[in-house]
């Protein structure tokens, strides 16, 4: 009989831990949860105090059988799953399924996978914390109830295959509300004035900005006119010391945000890489809302800073989290060994580790000491207005030597730190030029994955373990996409005063464009509106945050998890029953856009079984209504009557070219033109509604050139046989199926005979490379 069996969640973690324990220990992995609520039905007995109906996952049956055998043959089983609520639940399920008790099993936890941490955990085991288990059960059961009861209503009232989740639906609401804020935002123009002055030495120049803005071109022009005869005097020079302090070490949410800003990682990508680093023993546990660092880590950081930068760069700090209910772990995310500045691994792993190392080290470094100078320049003809020039000098770089936190503020102007030349109060400056440039007030920014995490954390919605799954889920369900928004071209006026003359120029700029932002889909908007109207509590921010606090109280042993479930269910279920039987006057999400001028029938837009569509007429008409799918470029929320009617103009005959018709249409892959046997994508900048014969002809010629470039050889013996040039080299096409040319073949493809090709086809048998698929767009 073996002495000790250690069970962890992942094989990578098992492999790392096994290095630290002797031959008396065997380490195995449970590969995450071994059982969960049954996938079919509610699997929760609401009439029996919300008793969950758990089942072992079919794909884990063999694994569980092996774990049972190993546990039976061991003197002691050590349950070493992660130290958060999910990890505690995994340990509890293992104990129940494997039939373990306090005599033959122990629970151990650690927040880093190092030899000292593992041995310390073995020396200080504890029992499974049932309060943490209950908190996890409460969340799991409540979320199952919400999803199970809400989803069928969405199928019935809106469209099939929709689903709702407690935290996910609130996250979608945030994105929907922000999109509507942006759509309703009216940008206002203003003029910003900047000037270049020449100092008394006649050579040195400084740039300065006016301390006010003008709302119209007329006002800006009048101001510049008053500068022509003005005297500019240095009225004040204010120099003051300033300090910058480092950001605290990473929590889960701040790591996700900063990795997005600095490295461009998605939230799920960050967590996946961090998990690998943790399991390899390189960083501490990555699901945490604690800012605390252990004494050991602080001492190691101090040593590193002192050796690398000097004693004056050290300032040991202990940060404290402001997050209510912080409980997921005992330390912030930090390197396991502070003296490991670099690691071996993938490029992504190295980049994330570097970020964590720098942030941790910087958090224990001295403040940066700065000197900020503001020069105020008076205008004799406009005494109420001032030009301001600012400069910043770093006197001592401190933590800036290593790291500076990024920001999500897209409207923040990156002021360059510059040293201002020596100036004297009351000295007179000469105006070289003044510029009044038109700008627009900025719309609210759309969410990125990182800024959405920050907002959820601010509202107290979700916990470190739920941010990444929430963001993945809302995208997988099609309620939100991460995409781009085209901007709008605007004409801006620029006024310039130079040599006593004001000149005016105009410049076209694209404004409002967005890249890689969280955008709500039509179904996301419709579902959000439906849930807000019928289930306001489920979508209410405070209600969702209060539930998180309730889970925290369960984890602390302050309330019973079943009491929380009863309270929620008694509020939630009666609303479900009411909405289920309620009849709606109009289809959920439907918008009536107006009347079709040709038929005088109503034109509406709505969500259907296969997505959003426009309808002319109604089901009650004698004549069958006309339907047109909504392209991705249009939204139920903003489509106009004119845009909707244009959708019924496709397919459209553009005209004839070389004696054959050109037809413009819209397909699954976007707009395209059909000409003879060719399907040609219509690129951005052209519309299927307005493209001309000349424009289409040019696209057809380009397509022909592409087709000709890939053509290698045809055979008079059989028109169905060709040799073509593909992305991965030459290949054979026979009867609309593709066949790879063997690499062992010594002949050049051009030299292949009809018999050579047919032999290759025959030898491939019934397994062609792939079938050719005709598409509306390639």
Tell me which residues are annotated as active site: 285
Structure tokens, 505: 């120029």
Structure tokens, 271: 């967590």
Vertex 101: Cα angle to 29 and 123 (nearest 5): 70
- Per the CB < 8 A criterion, the answer to whether 386 and 230 are in contact is no
What are the residue ranges of helices labelled H in 23-103? 61-72, 85-97
Residues 6+ apart with CB under 8 A from 33: 57, 89, 90, 93
Question: For residue 463, which of 210, 143, 712 has the smallest C-alpha distance?
Answer: 143
What is the rounded distance in angstroms from the CA atom of residue 581 to the CA atom of residue 672? 45
Structure tokens, 259: 């990795």
Structure tokens, 475: 């995208």
Q: Write down how long the chain is.
A: 778
- Per the CB < 8 A criterion, the answer to whether 757 and 730 are in contact is no
Q: How far is Cα of residue 194 from the mean position of the Cα atoms in its chain? A: 37
Structure tokens, 745: 């073949």
Q: In the block, which residue shows the tokens 């569980």? A: 64
φ, ψ dihedrals at 714, nearest 5°? -120, 170
Question: For residue 34, which of 3, 71, 4, 2 has the smallest C-alpha distance?
Answer: 71
Strands 488-498 and 428-440: antiparallel
What is the rounded distance in angstroms from the CA atom of residue 75 to the CA atom of residue 716? 79
Question: For residue 363, which of 326, 395, 331, 327 has the smallest C-alpha distance?
Answer: 331
Cα dihedral 267/273/277/278 (nearest 10): 50
Tell me how far CA of residue 168 lies from CA of 42, 526, 631, in angstroms: 19, 15, 26
Neighbours of 201 (CB within 10 A): 8
Q: How far is Cα of residue 292 from the mean position of the Cα atoms in its chain? A: 27
What is the rounded distance in angstroms from the CA atom of residue 732 to the CA atom of residue 724? 6
Containing 726, the helix (H) or strand (E) segment is: strand 721-726
Question: For residue 195, which of 342, 379, 56 has the smallest C-alpha distance?
Answer: 379
């Amino acid at each position: 009989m073996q002495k000790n069996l250690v069970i962890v969640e992942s094989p990578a973690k098992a492999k790392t831990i096994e290095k630290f324990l002797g031959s008396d220990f065997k380490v195995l992995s449970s590969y995450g949860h071994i059982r969960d609520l049954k996938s079919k039905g509610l699997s929760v007995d609401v009439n029996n105090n919300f008793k969950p109906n758990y089942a072992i996952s079919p794909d884990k049956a063999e694994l569980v059988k092996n774990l049972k055998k190993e546990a039976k043959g061991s003197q002691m089983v050590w349950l070493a799953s992660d130290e958060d609520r999910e990890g505690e639940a995994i340990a509890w399920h293992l104990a129940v399924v494997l039939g373990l008790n306090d005599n033959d099993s122990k629970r151990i936890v650690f927040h880093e996978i190092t030899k000292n941490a593992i041995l310390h955990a073995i020396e200080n085991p504890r029992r499974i914390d049932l309060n943490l288990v209950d908190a996890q059960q409460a969340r799991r059961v409540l979320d199952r109830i919400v999803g199970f009861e809400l989803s069928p209503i969405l199928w019935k009232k809106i469209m099939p295959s929709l689903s709702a989740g407690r935290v996910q639906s609130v996250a979608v609401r945030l994105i929907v509300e922000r999109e509507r804020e942006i759509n309703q935002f009216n940008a206002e123009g203003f003029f910003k004035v900047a000037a270049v002055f020449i100092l008394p030495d006649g050579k040195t120049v400084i740039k300065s900005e006016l301390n006010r803005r003008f709302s119209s071109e007329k006002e800006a022009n009048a101001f510049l006119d008053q500068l022509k005869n003005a005297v500019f005097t240095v009225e004040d020079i204010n120099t003051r010391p300033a300090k910058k302090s480092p950001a605290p070490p990473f929590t889960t949410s701040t790591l996700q945000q900063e990795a997005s800003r600095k490295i461009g990682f998605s939230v799920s990508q960050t967590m996946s890489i961090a998990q690998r680093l943790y399991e390899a023993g390189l960083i501490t546990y990555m699901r945490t809302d604690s800012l605390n660092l252990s004494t050991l880590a602080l001492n190691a950081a101090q040593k590193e800073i002192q050796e690398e930068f000097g004693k004056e760069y050290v300032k040991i700090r202990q940060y404290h989290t402001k997050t209510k209910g912080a409980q997921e772990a005992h330390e912030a995310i930090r390197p396991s060994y502070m003296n490991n500045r670099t690691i071996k691994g993938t490029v992504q792993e190295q980049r994330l580790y570097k970020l964590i190392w720098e942030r941790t080290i910087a958090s224990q470094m001295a403040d940066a000491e700065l000197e900020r100078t503001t020069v105020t320049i008076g205008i004799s003809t406009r005494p109420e207005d001032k030009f301001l020039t600012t400069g910043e000098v770093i006197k001592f770089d401190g933590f800036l030597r290593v790291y500076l936190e990024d920001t999500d503020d897209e409207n923040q102007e990156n002021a360059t730190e510059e040293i201002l030349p020596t100036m004297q109060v009351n000295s007179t400056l000469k105006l070289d030029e003044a510029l009044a440039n038109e700008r627009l007030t900025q719309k609210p920014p759309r969410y990125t994955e990182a800024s959405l995490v920050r907002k959820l954390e601010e509202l107290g919605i979700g916990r470190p373990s739920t941010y990444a799954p929430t963001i993945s889920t809302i995208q997988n369900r099609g309620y939100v996409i991460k995409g781009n928004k085209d901007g709008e071209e605007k004409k801006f006026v620029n006024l310039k005063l130079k040599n006593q003359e004001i000149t005016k120029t105009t410049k076209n700029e694209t404004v409002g464009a967005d890249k890689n932002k969280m955008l709500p889909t039509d179904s996301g908007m419709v579902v959000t509106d439906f849930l807000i109207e019928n289930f306001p509590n489920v979508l209410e921010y405070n209600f969702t945050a209060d539930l998180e606090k309730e889970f925290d109280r369960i984890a602390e042993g302050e309330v019973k998890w079943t009491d929380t479930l009863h309270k929620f269910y008694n509020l939630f279920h009666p609303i479900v029953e009411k909405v289920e039987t309620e009849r709606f006057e109009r289809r959920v999400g439907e918008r009536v856009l107006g009347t079709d001028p040709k038929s005088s029938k109503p034109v509406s837009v709505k969500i259907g079984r296969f997505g959003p569509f426009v309808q002319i007429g109604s089901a009650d008409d004698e004549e069958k209504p006309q339907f047109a799918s909504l392209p991705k470029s249009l939204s139920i929320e903003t489509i106009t009557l004119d845009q909707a009617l244009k959708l019924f103009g496709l397919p459209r005959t553009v005209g004839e070219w070389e004696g054959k018709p050109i037809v413009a249409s819209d397909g699954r892959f976007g707009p395209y033109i059909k000409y003879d046997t060719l399907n040609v994508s219509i690129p951005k900048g052209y519309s299927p509604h307005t493209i001309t014969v000349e424009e289409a002809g040019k696209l057809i010629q380009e397509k022909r050139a592409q087709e000709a470039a890939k053509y290698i050889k045809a055979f008079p013996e059989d028109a169905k046989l060709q040799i073509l040039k593909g992305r991965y080299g030459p290949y054979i096409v026979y009867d609309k199926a593709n066949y790879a040319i063997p690499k062992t073949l010594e002949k050049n493809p051009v030299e292949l005979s009809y018999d050579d090709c047919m032999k290759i086809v025959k030898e491939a048998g019934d397994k062609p490379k792939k079938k050719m698929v005709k598409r509306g767009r390639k």
